[in-house]
């Protein structure tokens, strides 16, 4: 009986010994490079996809940021011409000059020739002045030899009071206090017009503004209230581009667990480099989209200079020394 038990024990030990190589093989297989990194490879592909999405959204936000200042950038980029000296006959222009009204706008107690007026009527209701009516009127005018028909224009005026009437009148059996105030712009003020010039006439355009502001003040007015959106878009685009570019490079780090003490340092370096590249993208896009006209001018001057240099080099004759 004891011999049988010893035989069973020896047989069990033999099985254990025979099982060890198989278990060791399984352990070694689990630590093979393919199985060790296969999850990281799939994670890396997801990271690259996320990075691509972040970069695309970042560039979209860059476009929106410049779109928020499209009007101001366009006005700022246009050269300013005196209407009397303008020789162009077509295209988007920015001109200035003193207006000549096509007809009169009659305003009580005002002897000036007005180009544009706004008339408001206020009534005293419950002890407070309340706006009850508002009208505006304008007339066609000329700047130099250019006819301006501002029906579709955006008026951006600094208005001055031209007339005021106050009194009482009966309405629905009650005496109501009222005041009518007329503000406007006279032909003694210098105008600035941005619009599409066609054969001596400006009457429409994707950008059509009539104002008595200076060019600098008009640009500031158009930017007012939109700079906050501009900064939000720029900062958001910078952050998204930084994260997106970092996500592109992160898959390279899947083998860095060989040097775990260097992993955090390399991650930091990659993030900083991505931030620098993202900043360059944001800065260059801002410069190019804002000062595109200046870039064209500089490029034109460079091309003209190179052509002249090449022409001069061809004119030079080779001197041959005859013995």
Same domain, 60 and 148: no
Same domain, 50 and 84: no
Enclosing domain of residue 139: 80-213
Same domain, 189 and 250: no
Q: Which of 187, 213, 239 is the last residue of a domain?
A: 213
Structure tokens at 70: 């499209």
Q: How far apart are CA 170 and CA 58, in angstroms?
A: 62
Same domain, 168 and 263: no
Q: What is the pLDDT along the chain (323 residues), one digit of tens a residue?
A: 545 555 554 555 545 444 544 444 444 444 444 455 555 555 666 777 788 888 888 888 887 776 667 788 888 888 899 998 887 678 889 999 999 998 888 888 788 889 999 999 998 888 888 888 899 999 999 998 899 999 999 999 999 999 888 888 887 778 888 899 999 999 999 999 999 999 889 998 888 999 999 999 999 888 886 777 778 888 888 888 888 888 877 766 655 555 556 666 777 788 888 888 888 888 887 777 666 666 677 777 888 888 887 777 766 555 454 55
Same domain, 162 and 109: yes
Strand 209-211 to 154-156 pairing: parallel
- Position 157 in a domain: yes
Same domain, 92 and 193: yes
Same domain, 243 and 193: no
Residue pair 92/101 in contact by the 8 Å Cβ criterion: no
Q: How far apart are CA 77 and CA 293, in angstroms?
A: 7
- Position 220 in a domain: no
Q: Which of 213, 239, 265 is the last residue of a domain?
A: 213
Distances (CA, A) of 187 to 167, 195, 308: 30, 20, 48
Residue pair 190/212 in contact by the 8 Å Cβ criterion: yes
Q: How far apart are CA 249 and CA 78, in angstroms?
A: 42
- Position 318 in a domain: no
Domain count, the chain: 2
Count CB neighbours of 134 within 10 A. Answer: 10
Q: Which of 156, 180, 213 is the last residue of a domain?
A: 213
Q: How far apart are CA 284 and CA 277, in angstroms?
A: 11
- Position 11 in a domain: no
- Position 281 in a domain: yes
């Amino acid at each position: 009986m004891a011999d049988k038990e010893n035989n069973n024990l020896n047989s069990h030990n033999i099985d254990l010994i025979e099982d060890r190589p198989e278990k060791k093989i399984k352990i070694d297989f689990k630590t093979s490079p393919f199985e060790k990194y296969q999850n990281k490879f799939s994670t890396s592909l997801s990271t690259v996809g996320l990075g691509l999405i972040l970069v695309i959204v970042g560039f979209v936000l860059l476009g929106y940021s410049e779109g928020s200042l499209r009007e101001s950038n366009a006005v700022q980029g246009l050269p300013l011409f005196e209407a009397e000296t303008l020789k162009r006959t077509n295209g988007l222009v920015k001109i200035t000059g003193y207006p000549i009204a096509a007809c009169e706008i009659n305003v009580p107690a005002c002897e000036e020739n007005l180009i544009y007026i706004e008339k408001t009527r206020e009534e005293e209701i419950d002890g407070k002045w309340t706006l009850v009516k508002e009208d505006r009127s304008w007339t066609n005018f000329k700047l130099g030899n250019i006819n301006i028909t501002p029906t579709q224009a955006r008026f951006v005026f600094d208005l001055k009071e031209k007339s005021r009437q106050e009194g009482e009148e009966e309405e629905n059996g009650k005496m109501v206090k009222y005041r009518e105030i007329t503000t406007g712009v006279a032909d003694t003020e210098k105008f600035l017009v941005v619009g599409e010039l066609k054969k001596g006439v400006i009457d429409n355009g994707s950008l059509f503004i009539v104002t008595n502001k200076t060019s600098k003040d008009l640009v500031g007015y158009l930017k007012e209230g939109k700079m906050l959106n501009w900064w939000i878009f720029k900062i958001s685009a910078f952050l998204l581009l930084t994260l997106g570019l970092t996500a592109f490079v992160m898959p390279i780090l899947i083998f860095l667990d060989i040097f775990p003490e260097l992993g955090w340092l390399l991650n930091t370096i990659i993030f900083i480099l991505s931030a620098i590249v993202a900043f360059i993208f944001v800065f260059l896009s801002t410069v190019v989209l804002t000062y595109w006209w200046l870039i064209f001018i500089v490029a034109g001057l460079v091309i003209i200079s190179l052509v002249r240099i090449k022409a001069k080099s061809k004119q030079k004759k080779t001197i041959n020394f005859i013995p």
